[in-house]
């Protein structure tokens, strides 16, 4: 039976989301296939949730009264730093421990929203215009004004919409930028696109890329913010109310982005539709995995159980 460390926690704003996702993974990973341990990061310490035993970081083993447990696989369910940005992937590669999800390079690129957009420019992916600001550097307000109003302001390297806001008047911009800087040392100011929001999950199974059904997001608020994502303040419709042609367009774009970025494991890409164009917003390489999260919704619409979805991620990680 494979020994799996389900990695969760962390010292970031998304910690609560990570803990909830890890419980779903623990619940749905097949008990007949896997010996499961939830490993939580607090500060710089990884510990096993049930016993509190501290992981030995020299080899990522778990000490027990019957000897150290060596993990066969790490299932990454830790949102944000240090998992979603590629830091832990490098650590596990040095130790030779398989892990789910993207490798170091793809994780680093996708976690940096502006770097990801810059990378995808050469692949003719439609995207909103944007500018990146860095803490401590002067701001070219004329460049920002050229983006028009409204705009979105969000941390460049963060998820779950923490620190993100929609700016509807010029006098709100400075405050929104300051708020986003509370979560990151880089902030993206992005041109506003008025349209419908969609999200599309994708993964590999048996070596083939599987693009899941699309979810249409109808937020009760102005945009798909934290409350819309995690406090049931949005309507999520899966499969999305799109024509067959529109569905094929989004799914082909999802596959192209997944391949272009060199992604692995389960990813989710977000879009906004303006006319007949679906503009790419951002990539999520460790998407939420609670029972209500978008990717599990899409898996069910595809005809999979959550267990089958997780099995596919594990099988791909072990086959690398």
pLDDT at 233: 64
Catalytic entry in 282, 293, 311, 316: 282
CB 281 within 8 A of CB 154: no
What is the architecture, at CATH level 2, of domain 130-191?
2-Layer Sandwich (3.30)
**Which residue in the block uniquely carries the two structure tokens 């994780």?**
107
- Token pair in block for residue 156: 């460049």
pLDDT at 222: 62
- Is 196 tagged catalytic? no
- Is 205 tagged catalytic? no
- Is 21 tagged catalytic? no
For residues 160 and 230, give the distance between their C-alpha atoms in angstroms, rounded to a whole number: 9
Residue-range domain boundaries for the chain: 2-99, 108-126+194-319, 130-191
Catalytic entry in 160, 161, 165, 234: 160
Catalytic entry in 9, 10, 101, 288: 288
Nearest 5°: the CA angle 189, 255, 283 is: 30
- Is 101 tagged catalytic? no
The answer to whether domain 108-126+194-319 and domain 130-191 are alike in fold is no
Catalytic entry in 130, 161, 199, 284: 284
What is the architecture, at CATH level 2, of domain 108-126+194-319?
2-Layer Sandwich (3.30)
pLDDT at 161: 67
pLDDT of 43 > 80? The answer is: yes
pLDDT at 225: 45
Residues written for the chain: 320
- Is 162 tagged catalytic? no
pLDDT of 22 > 90? The answer is: yes
Residues β-bridged to residue 190: 130, 152
Torsions phi, psi for 147 (to 5 deg): -70, -15
Q: Residue 190 to residues 104, 113, 177, 285: CA-CA distances in angstroms?
A: 26, 11, 12, 21
Q: Residue 291 to residues 11, 36, 62, 69: CA-CA distances in angstroms?
A: 23, 18, 28, 29
Residues β-bridged to residue 228: none
Binning pLDDT at 50, 70 and 90, where does residue 234 land? confident
Catalytic entry in 75, 230, 258, 271: 230
- Is 258 tagged catalytic? no
**In terms of Cα–Cα distance, which of 140, 141, 154, 155 is closest to 185?**
155
pLDDT of 160 > 80? The answer is: no
Catalytic entry in 9, 10, 14, 112: 14
Mean pLDDT of the chain: 93
Fold of 2-99: Rossmann fold (3.40.50)
- Is 230 tagged catalytic? yes
- Is 197 tagged catalytic? no
pLDDT per residue as tens digits for the range 163-209: 899 999 999 999 999 999 998 999 999 999 999 999 999 999 999 99
């Amino acid at each position: 039976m494979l020994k799996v460390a389900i990695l969760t926690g962390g010292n970031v704003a998304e910690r609560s989301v990570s803990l909830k996702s890890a419980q779903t993974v623990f619940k749905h990973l097949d008990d007949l296939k896997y010996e499961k341990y939830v490993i939580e990061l607090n500060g710089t310490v990884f510990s096993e949730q049930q016993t509190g035993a501290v992981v030995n970081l020299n080899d990522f083993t778990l000490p027990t009264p019957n000897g150290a447990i060596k993990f066969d696989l790490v299932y990454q369910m830790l949102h944000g730093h240090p998992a979603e940005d590629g830091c832990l992937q490098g650590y596990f590669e040095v130790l030779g421990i398989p892990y789910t999800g993207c490798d170091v390079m793809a994780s680093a690129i996708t976690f940096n929203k502006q770097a990801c957009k810059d990378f995808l420019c050469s692949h003719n992916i439609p995207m909103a215009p944007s500018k990146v600001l860095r803490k401590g550097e002067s701001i070219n307000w004329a460049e920002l004004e050229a983006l028009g109003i409204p705009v979105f302001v969000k941390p460049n390297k963060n998820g779950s919409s923490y620190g993100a806001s929609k700016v509807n008047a010029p006098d709100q911009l400075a405050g929104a930028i300051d708020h986003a800087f509370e979560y990151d040392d880089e902030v993206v100011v992005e041109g506003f696109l008025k349209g419908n929001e969609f999200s599309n999950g994708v993964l590999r199974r048996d070596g083939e890329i599987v693009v899941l059904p699309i979810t249409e997001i109808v937020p009760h608020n102005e945009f798909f913010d934290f409350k819309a994502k995690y406090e049931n303040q949005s309507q999520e419709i899966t499969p999305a109310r799109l024509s067959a042609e529109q569905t094929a367009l989004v799914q082909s774009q999802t596959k192209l982005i997944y391949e272009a970025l060199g992604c692995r494991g389960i990813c989710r890409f977000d879009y906004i539709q303006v006319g007949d164009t679906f503009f790419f917003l951002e990539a999520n390489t460790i998407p939420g995995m609670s029972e209500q999260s978008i990717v599990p919704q899409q898996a069910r619409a595809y005809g999979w159980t959550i267990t089958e979805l997780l099995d596919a991620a594990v099988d791909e990680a072990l086959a690398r």
